[in-house]
Amino acid sequence: MEAALADPVAQVLLLFGTGFLAANLLIMADVWRYRMRRRTAILTWRLPRPRLASMSIWVAGGLGLLIAYKVAILHWPAHAVFGEGMMFLYYAVWYPMSFTVERGFYADGVWLSRRLVKYTDVTGLAWREEPGNDPVLLVVARHRQQAGHLAVPAELFGEVRRLLRDRIGTDQVHMDAPLLDLGGHDRREDV
């Protein structure tokens, strides 16, 4: 059995398992943060599933059969299927569960496609619109100086703009001053 773990393929699967463990933990943390925060939701929606999202069920089924074969037929110990187990958990449980996290606006911040940004950390907002696609809100965060994005359903576009305008008006969102400010600029118009 130890020869099976010394196999280069087993080592690669262990490496994959470590990566998928990290991915599982990140999604678990997102789901947990969402469940703690969802009662403070102001305006939220679920992101649409990608076209190939249903393929994860097939991948999970194949991994489940492989794990069952290795454990039941080949009598491998549980730690020898760690890589396959972590991939199975990702595709069967955590990847589908990641679609339950609602993106949008909460009392303390905006949940972008990848992370939550507190209103006080927002330093810039912009819209990107492409024909045939939903508008995308681009958000620059102060602490990372990185932009995140959030696809906004077209039917909620006006409501999102009003919400952002209100947050800017009450100084919950304080955007950096424009490079050339000649006065008379209403910050709420930046949305």
The proportion of the chain whose per-residue pLDDT surpasses 70, expressed as a percent, equals 86
Supply 4's token pair.
């099976």
User: What is the number of domains present in the chain?
Assistant: 2
In a domain, 68, yes or no: yes
Q: At which of 79, 98, 117 does a domain end? A: 98
Are 29 and 66 contained in the same domain?
A: yes
User: Which range of residues forms the domain containing residue 166?
Assistant: 108-177+186-190
- Write the single-letter amino acid at 41: A
Kindly state whether residues 112 and 84 are assigned to the same domain.
Answer: no
My answer on whether 112 and 93 are in the same domain is no
Let me know if residue 103 belongs to a domain: no
User: Looking at the predicted structure, is the pLDDT value of residue 6 above 60?
Assistant: yes
pLDDT in tens, 45-79: 998 888 888 899 999 999 999 999 999 999 988 88
Which residues are CB-contacts of 41 (< 8 A; sequence separation ≥ 6)? 102, 104, 105, 106
Note whether 144 and 82 are same-domain residues.
Answer: no
Q: Which of 43, 63, 98 is the last residue of a domain?
A: 98
Distance CA 187, CA 172 (A): 12
User: Is 12 found in the same domain as 94?
Assistant: yes
Q: How confident is the model at residue 147 (pLDDT cuts 50, 70, 90)?
A: confident
Provide the whole-model pTM.
0.76
